[in-house]
Structure 1
């Protein structure tokens, strides 16, 4: 029926959230542009009102995020131990000159170039314009703590990029010092919350549970600044299977994808038809910022 409703949105607690995130609410009578400070502690992890609007039955009501961050113009920051690549025929000082800054999608020279990579990992590297960093990771120790093997293509992504931020909005979790981009640290925190007796049987991933060693459940490996979340469903009785589960906006509506982590991430970043998770519809540049530089 017709009536007046309040529009809400929810986004997770992350470091470096946008201070001026833009949203457009479509209602009966037009549209309204709203700006939300996602970095405010009072706003993170809870429902935030965008205002009250009139709606009619059958009206196509929508709240569309329009990601935007106002950063000063800076040359891209390099991962530790890397040197900027120079165009053919140019001296090494070329990229250090303010007058010849590389584009945002600049490439980085790596001390370790991959010989053979998963097809989808390679596509992400080419899409972003990035050379694999060759980051050393003790996967044996990580998988021993988790109690399950992790996807091989995810390991390649982690070694190539490390944890960080794709396209200025997609958080990728790996083995990073900073908690915001550390897969294991985030999993420990989520598991501790799931085990908290004060919360009873309530889980942040209902109707699922956070994965416990020897059991089955979800482990988060990525998200967006407006609340999309990406998980693996891991069953210790079926090692070697890592279906991707994701949700966008509606925390009760889950989507299951029979595809690899790297294929899912590539489609999020580059596939204009990958609804509702694709981010290219917002006109974002293809970039990557390492977690230790944010």
Structure 2
């Protein structure tokens, strides 16, 4: 049986992508030195067309500025790379099959569904222990998407901020790491 631990709300939702990335850089002092010299120049229109939805601007900015990295040797943050956009979308589509299985197996009071269902879940990060971090999509648009955590211990919970703000708040302790280990403020490129 799955458990929904609840919902955590940030003190103030960071709507400006640059502000969200700066909050993460402040939370993780050794992240800024990993910044790429040049933007990745991912073909976001292609990614979004193939996926069938726009993606949150904070995530896109983070992916443009940083390589794939791990936070606290626990949580991996990756995404599309220039020239490999289609393979990333294909991989994401394949992971939606797993999300569908988890949602089906979950015994939650309010059923969850994978994207492209309305309000469907779309993975954006994972841990080395099998935890998955997903967007809860919204028809209002990707800037309103929130985070759903599906922990390996079968505890699901929500965070009503964006993905990059979630990472910053998780590292600083502004969000309780329900069913997750404490995440050290350390980053390493993959």
Normalising by structure 2, what TM-score?
0.70
* Correspondence for 1:224: 127
**Aligned residue for 1:266?**
168
Instruction: Give the match for residue 286 of structure 1.
Output: 186
Instruction: Give the CA deviation at 1:150.
Output: 0.8
1:248 and 2:146 correspond? no
Answer whether contact 1:268 1:278 (CA < 8 A) is retained. no
Change (3 A) 1:270 1:176: farther
Bigger share in strand: 1
- In structure 2, the CA distance between the partners of 1:227 and 1:139, relative to structure 1 (3 Å rule), is same
Aligned to 2:95: 190
Q: Choose between structure 1 and 2 for higher RCO, CA contacts under 8 A separated by at least 6 residues.
A: 2
Going from structure 1 to structure 2, the CA distance change for 1:272 and 1:208 (only over 3 Å counts) comes to closer
Q: Is residue 166–residue 289 contact of structure 1 (8 Å, CA) maintained in 2?
A: no
Runs (4+) off by over 3 Å: 191-194
**Counterpart for residue 168 of structure 1:** 73
- When structure 1 is superposed on structure 2, of 159-168 and 260-269 the one drifting more is 159-168
Paired position in structure 2 for 1:238: 140
What is the aligned residue count?
Answer: 159
Query: What is the correspondence of 1:4-19 to structure 2 with a 5 Å cutoff?
Result: none
1:67-78 alignment, distance < 5 Å:
none
The DSSP-based 3-state class of the residue aligned with 2:65 is helix
Higher Rg of the two aligned structures = 1
Q: In structure 2, how many angstroms separate the alpha carbons of the residues matched to 1:146 and 1:230? A: 18
Bigger helix share: 2
Q: 2:28 aligned with 1:124, yes or no?
A: no
Unaligned runs of 5+ in 1: 1-115, 195-201
Secondary structure at 1:187's aligned position in 2?
Answer: helix
**How far off its partner does 1:254 sit?**
2.0
CA distance in 1, matches of 2:98, 2:75: 24
Any unmatched runs of 5+ in structure 2? 1-15, 105-110
Q: Hey, what's the Cα distance between the residues in 2 that align with 1:226 and 1:255?
A: 17
Q: Deviation of residue 285 (structure 1)?
A: 5.8
Q: Structure 2: how far apart are the matches of 1:162 and 1:174?
A: 9
The 5 Å alignment of 1:26-175 reads 118-126=18-26, 127-129=28-30, 130-131=32-33, 132-133=35-36, 134-175=39-80
Q: 1:209 aligns with which of 113, 121, 127?
A: 113
